């Protein structure tokens, strides 16, 4: 099941914990992958670990021109982009009353606007191929909200509405657009938390633990597969039961 | 009929799966030839590739009929 042989996937934020796991899962299922991110070294290391079907395409998602060039670079490197995983994201947390325009703009720009541009950039090829899979990595926070993350939550909720709208438009062309909304996942981002903070978080999760990047990757693999062709416009919540939506 | 018109007609016939004689000068892609809005976007993409031209979004919106398409492409190429 879930054989991606012959499919070409572009993954943003591949230098991060979740993005790396997604790239690995798609690669292991047979896909050729283009690894995008800001930091070249971890991308090169991941590509070397994966093998010859992995390409490295550094990109600064806060730069409009770089973002618009990325789908073309990926298509040149791999021949096409059949699967797009918008995983890259940033946080600039602050209390709402203290949040600056810059904190708001930068998070919306990288998390939501770049996702819009990348989706737009891969659609032409997918429409012609009559096949495509777009998976946008949202967040539990987009559905539940979180103090200090007004900008981040807005960007992640925005992704869901955008994905549903796009899913409507391209469904007849064999293209699906879905979101995966992770809860708390153990990555470098959560390692900074103290044990006390982690205990408090785990107490709110029915599964009583954080998720793993591989558990997010498995959801992405499903939504990228041929088998998921009738699943579109949905959000798959992977959060250990923390929010049952 | 000009070479451009022939090539445009071929794309329209293939893409919208319609009879060639239905593709008249005033035939509207949406009202007469059964296209949906996404079909019109795809037609414009196909025209761009066939004729090696760029059709900006605001111009694409004005291309409603077969005749509009031929006229625009003739002027652009």
Question: How confident is the model over B59-68, as pLDDT tens digits?
Answer: 999 999 999 9
Q: What average pLDDT does the segment A203-223 reach?
A: 97
Beta strand pairing status for A235-238 and A32-37? Answer: unpaired
Q: Which of A124, A169, A170 sits opposite B45 (nearest CB)?
A: A124
B-chain residues near A173 (CB < 8 A): 38
How many folded domains does chain A comprise? 1
Q: Is B42 on the interface with A (CB under 8 A)?
A: yes
Give the whole-angstrom CA distance, residue A81 versus residue A126.
7
**pLDDT surpassing 80 at residue A189:** no
**pLDDT surpassing 70 at residue A70:** yes
The distance of A171 to chain B (nearest Cα, Å) reads: 11
Q: Which CATH superfamily includes the segment(s) B1-76? A: ACP-like (1.10.1200.10)
Beta strands in chain A (DSSP E): 8-11, 32-37, 54-58, 83-86, 132-137, 175-182, 235-238
Determine whether the interchain pair A172/B45 forms a contact, defined as Cβ–Cβ distance below 8 Å: no
3-state helix, strand, coil in chain B (%, to 5): 60, 5, 35
Determine the pLDDT at residue A187: 86
Determine whether the interchain pair B42/A127 forms a contact, defined as Cβ–Cβ distance below 8 Å: yes
Q: What is the pLDDT of residues A116-145, one digit of tens each?
A: 999 999 999 999 999 999 999 999 999 999
CATH number, position A15: 3.40.50.720
Q: What average pLDDT does the segment B27-31 reach?
A: 96
| ipTM of predicted complex | 0.80
Annotation says A152 is catalytic: yes
* Chains A & B: contacts with CB separation below 8 Å: 11
Split at pLDDT 50, 70, 90, the class of B14 is: very high
pTM, two decimals, is: 0.92
Split at pLDDT 50, 70, 90, the class of B1 is: low
Determine whether the interchain pair B38/A128 forms a contact, defined as Cβ–Cβ distance below 8 Å: no
Q: Return the HEC string of A179-236.
A: EEEECCECCHHHHCCCHHHHHHHHHCCCCCCCECHHHHHHHHHHHHCHHHCCCCCCEE
Closest CA to A59 of A84, A91, A80: A84
Query: How high is the mean pLDDT of chain A?
Result: 96
Which residues span the domain enclosing A126? 8-234
């Amino acid at each position: 099941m879930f054989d991606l042989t012959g499919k070409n996937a572009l993954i943003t934020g591949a230098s991060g914990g979740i993005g790396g796991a997604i790239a690995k899962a798609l690669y292991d299922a047979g896909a050729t992958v283009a690894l995008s991110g800001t930091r070249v070294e971890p991308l090169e290391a991941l590509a070397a670990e994966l093998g010859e079907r992995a390409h490295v395409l550094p990109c600064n998602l806060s730069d409009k021109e770089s973002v618009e060039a990325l789908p073309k670079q990926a298509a040149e490197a791999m021949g096409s982009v059949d699967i797009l995983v918008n995983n890259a994201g940033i946080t600039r947390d602050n209390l709402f009353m203290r949040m600056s325009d810059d904190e708001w703009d930068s998070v919306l720009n990288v998390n939501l606007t770049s996702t819009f541009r990348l989706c737009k950039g891969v659609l032409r090829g997918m429409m012609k191929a009559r096949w495509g899979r777009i998976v946008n990595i949202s967040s539990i926070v987009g559905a539940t909200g979180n103090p200090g993350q007004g900008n981040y939550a807005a960007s992640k909720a925005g992704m869901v509405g955008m994905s549903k709208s796009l899913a409507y438009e391209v469904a007849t062309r064999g293209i699906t657009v879905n979101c995966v909304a992770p809860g708390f996942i153990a990555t470098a981002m959560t390692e900074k938390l103290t044990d006390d903070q982690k205990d408090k978080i785990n107490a709110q999760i029915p599964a009583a633990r954080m998720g793993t990047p591989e558990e997010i990757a498995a959801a992405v693999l499903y939504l990228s597969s041929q088998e998921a062709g009738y699943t579109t416009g949905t959000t798959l919540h992977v959060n250990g039961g923390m929010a049952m939506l | 009929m000009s070479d451009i018109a022939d090539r445009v007609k071929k794309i329209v016939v293939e893409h919208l799966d319609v009879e060639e004689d239905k593709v008249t000068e005033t035939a509207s892609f949406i009202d007469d030839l059964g296209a949906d809005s996404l079909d019109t976007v795809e037609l414009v993409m196909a025209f761009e590739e066939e004729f090696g031209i760029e059709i900006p979004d605001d111009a694409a919106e004005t291309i409603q009929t077969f005749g509009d398409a031929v006229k625009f492409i003739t002027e652009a190429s």
